Structure 1
Amino acid sequence: MAPSATETVTETLPIRTTVKLTSNTGTYKELAPIGYEKDTEEQGKDGFSAAKYQNYLPHWEINERYPPLEPFEHRDHGLDADKSYPDLLHSGVTTTELTPTIGTEVTGVQLSKLSQAGKDQLARYVAERKVVAFRDQDFKDLPISEALDYGRYFGRLHIHPTSGAPKGYPEVHLVHRGAGDKTAESFFQTRTSSVAWHSDVSYEAQPPGTTFLYILDVPEVGGDTLFANQVEAYERLSEGFKERLHGLKATHSGIEQVNASKGKNGAVRREPVISEHPIVRTHPVTGEKALYVNPQFTRGIVGYKQEESDVLLKFLYDHIAYGADFQARVKWAEGTVVVWDNRVTSHSALVDWKSGQRRHLARIAAQAERPTETPYKA
């Protein structure tokens, strides 16, 4: 039977019912819709226009399966960059720092036209500034295959285990809340905030480094993204506390994210994994040390009892979340392309608009090296 016009569907998912998720699925995934009303997104309805970029509408192929990720050798292109950035920040380019320690807005750069040297400098510049917002009207209009080829320069592209993707392009992770979507209302019946600090898929053995997120449709007001500088968060700690953290590892789990998708009849492309990563990781290009824990995916400190682990991790989570003086807030606008270094930042989207307007973004994430740390040095 064909679905009615009011049902929330995708091409490959069945009609979903409301499922109460188990604990520890993660705020990030609880908030993520896994469907949309096709008539509204494809044709416009109830005062909402159709999606501008329908080639980027999400699909969830529930029978699509991928093997476990294999280790690979990654060499960061930022190591090859000229630190004066002549091919990136050339004449005619303007930069505005959002805060002293994190975030820069850049105008006058067309990312797809950068030379190899320019892309190397991009990797280095993003590692230095942590998050860079480009005003580039052309990137979203690239054929998806070309956008993926561009991202592939920075590392092996990650295929997300559960998120929606454009049909035929699983390497694109879509952040999509369709026009008229009201699913956040049920979330806020039991939660007080949509803030969900995380580093993307930190449970992978080799999580992403240089990451691209570009806007396709944005509410008139709201839907900003917060970023936190994990390097500065580490630097704020006392020397004794830093020394205590070095040598510790924590587990990062993808199981709860997969369970959240299963609980909503969503897709699972790969079996979930658990990885151990150092709590303090070292960036291979800058040599900076950064905290590498987040409440969405980190589960416990290796070798610590649960109560001990909970106390220390809660302190670190609160330290990062309350650190407004080492955070930046990106306000999305037409043509915004945000590039950030996922190794040394945390971020959170904000579900704060009540207009029902569409929020639609695409993410391309290049995997990087396995997190490592260098010995403590005061």
Structure 2
Amino acid sequence: MVEDRDELLMTPGPTAVPPEVREAMSRAPVNPDVQAEFSPFYRDVLEKTARVYDTDDDVLVLSGEGMLGLEASVASLVEPGEEVLCLANGIFGEGFADFVEMHGGEAVVHDAPPESGFDPEAVKSVVADHDFAAATMVHCETPTGVLNDLGEILALLRDAGVLTIVDAVSSPGGTAVPTDDIDVCLGASQKCLSSPPGLTTLSVSDRAWEKVEATEQDTFYTSLAPWRDVDLPDDEPPHLPYTHAVSNLYALDASLDRLLEEGLASAYDRHESVAEQCRERGRDLGLDPFADSTALCSPTVTAFRTEGRASDLQRRLETDHGVVVATGLGELEDDVLRVGHMGYNADAERVERTMDALADVLD
């Protein structure tokens, strides 16, 4: 529920942070390098994160905004000269190719239209023509509000022996993710978890760990290898690669408690409901979702087609109504207006206030 009529942050990450999460972050931090009490706390955070990911794979929480996970996954699994398939129907899908090239790999980009998903048969054909070490893709392309159905593609890549790296940053906690079919599944604190920016969350399969161990690591901070055997004894300080972001972890812990208390099924239903509410209000205002079909529309963010008006609408929403939304990115910057309804903001009253303000601005 909206507590007051002050500024309403409805961007698709960073999201608004609930009061209890902000309060948790303000706790006096322990020293994770010398105080034994940090070990069971951190282990508990990892266990809760695994429950949200719905996986038995290893789960890591790293100090660094979600982009750290995208680069670290490539840096850790890709050796110079190895071919990597980069599935792209948006900016973040394309961005994986930059990381691959940066770390010496050979990126093979398979493009799909930004308003639609991938054709599994087309992907299968590309895979047959190459010897890919890994494949990268995005679950929810936040800049366009497109939720990619990856099930069939993940299956064919697994059958071909190709490791899969998935940017699911805008998904965990807001919609189901096929985590156990993914070798490295990437998330972040500032999206559906409604925690402040600063932490990367990810799951790592046994196959991925084997590849990490077989790959020469030419970096430390962006390598997953130092986290492979982190020791978290009950009565001793942990042995971590570097000092963790304790206050951010306190906030994440509170966010995870909030989500798990609600229940994942309930949270998914809540996101679907407010997403439909947002789209319907938009259509009533003459605004169509960017995605080709409702099936491709993300339950965590709605991107409306605005035909060159996005920046002006964004400015007037904030100036006249105190509602902060986002525009598109890149070539679509002024043609897409994005309403984030993820995590704490997956709330009918917040969406209604946002769309009422948009109606007034359009009028």
| TM-score for the superposition, normalised by structure 1 | 0.25
| TM-score for the superposition, normalised by structure 2 | 0.25
- More helix per residue: 2
